[in-house]
A and B are shown apart, each in its own frame.
Chain A
């Protein structure tokens, strides 16, 4: 069934390419495939695209996503716990988080470049800032809504305030936190292209941007496919991790 729908999609794509009649507008699947081969090899003394193979572009972007969203997730977790447990901080900080969440990453990227230059630092900051709000909001909500019955049971056993947070509130919040993490990685993913608009090569976003400048539409499409497919893969990995780490989800 999946194979069939995939084939149908390919056929539709081919049809669209033929109908458009302009490979710079809609490149045919075949052209994109050729680019995949070209970009994955050294041809005429040129290595891949701009001296880097496609997988290298992708790997560098993935590394940025990984580090950036890891920073954002950790910071979001800490912030979320604080927001969920200290009411007055929640009152002050929640609008700020919502404000940042509403900003498109490209908008504050300029500021980050002014502050941190054009190398890795601003890119990682961008991804971290983009990843932080979903985790913070999910964690805060889950911590705030911790199951009173279990909290009470722990207190009855002599748990301190810290024990209750560590042993009850956080584990109980884990399913929602995980949903927040998946959202955060998704946001980091969609922000990586923005992060690589400045000095982004090597990097899959930088590659797409360069290709756009030279109207290499087939490379653009290839880059999009690479981002999308690796995104699917990462989300699948996160889901698998979730099932392993939270076996009680939906059971208690």
Chain B
């Protein structure tokens, strides 16, 4: 597999994420287990792609491949035209916040800025700015265990945004939160992503979450995960209140369609 960046054709944008015939296999005690694919997928810059599927369909594996934590058994993965390397070009939010408890809230964000090569003076200015952006005020000096789970996940998002990477990867980031907190974080993420315009790949098993967040929803079959449905979401991205959005008839229709596909794919 070559790591040479692919040159885009004349007038053609480099895809934010491109998967070509990707397959992935895990070594199990009873021999190798096919986890994913073959799967081909191209995500244009600025898209909010949601991967939805039942547990064990390989959607998290797909995200780990895009993050560069793992290499595919066959096929190619490209982000911004090159083979992905962790820490380059993509911010990641995990299911658990994975914050560093020996750092304060602000310290966690500051560390991310430092790794991104932001000079010290600018870091001090940008930490509160990033926290504000995810809806947190006056928590920079707090300890991690002094803030709620929802707030911790907000910090994790702020941290992932710190590098100003063109790509944001989210692996079921709200799965461990209570319903009300989850809804509020979904709304804020939708707003933040519309503001920053960066490409996002979001993994979830929730149909509701997929339809609410995605500009495009891809439903995966059960293991080895393949594309069962690939749907562009035509709901407005800005200028609509979350409650209005959920009340739209198109929203209900989409939710029904995706829900049906997820159930069929899991069967």
- Which residues from chain A contact B67 at a C-beta distance below 8 Å? 156
How far is the CB of B265 from the nearest CB of chain A, in Å? 28
Contact with B along A155-171 (1 / 0, CB 8 A): 11111000100011001
B111 and A248 within 8 A (CB):
no
Closest to A251 in B: B145
B49-57, B91-99, B229-237, B254-262 - interface stretch: B91-99
Alpha-carbon distance A154/B108, docked complex (angstroms): 10
Contact with B along A126-166 (1 / 0, CB 8 A): 00000000000000000000000110111111110001000
Alpha-carbon distance A163/B99, docked complex (angstroms): 15
Closest to A167 in B: B111
Alpha-carbon distance A106/B70, docked complex (angstroms): 52
Query: Please, how many residues of chain A have a CB less than 8 angstroms from a CB on the other chain?
Result: 21
Interface residues of B in 76-106 (CB under 8 A from A): 86-88, 90-92, 94, 96, 98-102
A157 and B144 within 8 A (CB):
no
Interface residues of A in 231-251 (CB under 8 A from B): 246-248, 251
Closest to B67 in A: A156
A252 and B163 within 8 A (CB):
no
Residue A66 is within 8 A (CB to CB) of chain B in the complex: no
Q: Among the listed B86, B102, B145, B159, which residue makes an inter-chain contact with A155, where contact means beta carbons less than 8 Å apart?
A: B86
Contact with A along B155-175 (1 / 0, CB 8 A): 000011011000000000000
B116 and A156 within 8 A (CB):
no
Residue B112 is within 8 A (CB to CB) of chain A in the complex: yes
A171 and B115 within 8 A (CB):
no
Alpha-carbon distance A224/B144, docked complex (angstroms): 45
Alpha-carbon distance A97/B91, docked complex (angstroms): 42
- Which residues from chain A contact B26 at a C-beta distance below 8 Å? none
Query: Please, how many residues of chain B have a CB less than 8 angstroms from a CB on the other chain?
Result: 26
Residue B143 is within 8 A (CB to CB) of chain A in the complex: yes
- Which residues from chain B contact A247 at a C-beta distance below 8 Å? 143
Interface residues of B in 203-253 (CB under 8 A from A): none
A156 and B102 within 8 A (CB):
no
Q: Among the listed A153, A158, A168, which residue makes an inter-chain contact with B88, where contact means beta carbons less than 8 Å apart?
A: A158
A155 and B87 within 8 A (CB):
yes
Closest to B169 in A: A156
B115 and A158 within 8 A (CB):
yes
Alpha-carbon distance A3/B61, docked complex (angstroms): 62
A158 and B92 within 8 A (CB):
no
B111 and A153 within 8 A (CB):
no
Q: Among the listed B87, B111, B144, which residue makes an inter-chain contact with A156, where contact means beta carbons less than 8 Å apart?
A: B87
Alpha-carbon distance A252/B145, docked complex (angstroms): 7
Closest to B112 in A: A157
How far is the CB of B212 from the nearest CB of chain A, in Å? 25
A149 and B102 within 8 A (CB):
no
Alpha-carbon distance A196/B257, docked complex (angstroms): 83
A248 and B144 within 8 A (CB):
yes
B87 and A251 within 8 A (CB):
no
Closest to A155 in B: B86
Q: Among the listed B69, B90, B145, B162, which residue makes an inter-chain contact with A152, where contact means beta carbons less than 8 Å apart?
A: B69
B91 and A156 within 8 A (CB):
yes
Residue A55 is within 8 A (CB to CB) of chain B in the complex: no
How far is the CB of A126 from the nearest CB of chain B, in Å? 34
A157 and B87 within 8 A (CB):
yes
Residue A198 is within 8 A (CB to CB) of chain B in the complex: no
Residue A174 is within 8 A (CB to CB) of chain B in the complex: yes
- Which residues from chain B contact A167 at a C-beta distance below 8 Å? 100, 111
A150 and B91 within 8 A (CB):
no
B87 and A252 within 8 A (CB):
no
- Which residues from chain A contact B115 at a C-beta distance below 8 Å? 154, 157-159, 163
Alpha-carbon distance A163/B112, docked complex (angstroms): 11
A157 and B96 within 8 A (CB):
no
How far is the CB of A143 from the nearest CB of chain B, in Å? 15
Known: A152-B98, A153-B94, A163-B115. A158 touches B163 (CB 8 A): yes
- Which residues from chain A contact B102 at a C-beta distance below 8 Å? 171-172, 174, 246, 248
How far is the CB of A120 from the nearest CB of chain B, in Å? 37
Interface residues of A in 75-94 (CB under 8 A from B): none
A248 and B101 within 8 A (CB):
yes
Known: A168-B100, A248-B102. A153 touches B92 (CB 8 A): yes
Known: A152-B69, A163-B115, A248-B143. A171 touches B100 (CB 8 A): yes
> Closest 4 CB pairs between A and B?
A252-B101, A158-B87, A248-B101, A153-B98
Beyond the given pairs A155-B69, A167-B111, 9 more chain A to chain B contacts, judged by CB atoms under 8 angstroms and listed by A's residue number, are A149-B94, A149-B98, A152-B69, A153-B94, A156-B67, A157-B87, A158-B87, A158-B115, A172-B102
A-B contact pairs, 11 of them (CB 8 A): A150-B100, A152-B69, A153-B92, A154-B115, A155-B69, A157-B162, A158-B115, A159-B87, A168-B100, A251-B145, A252-B101
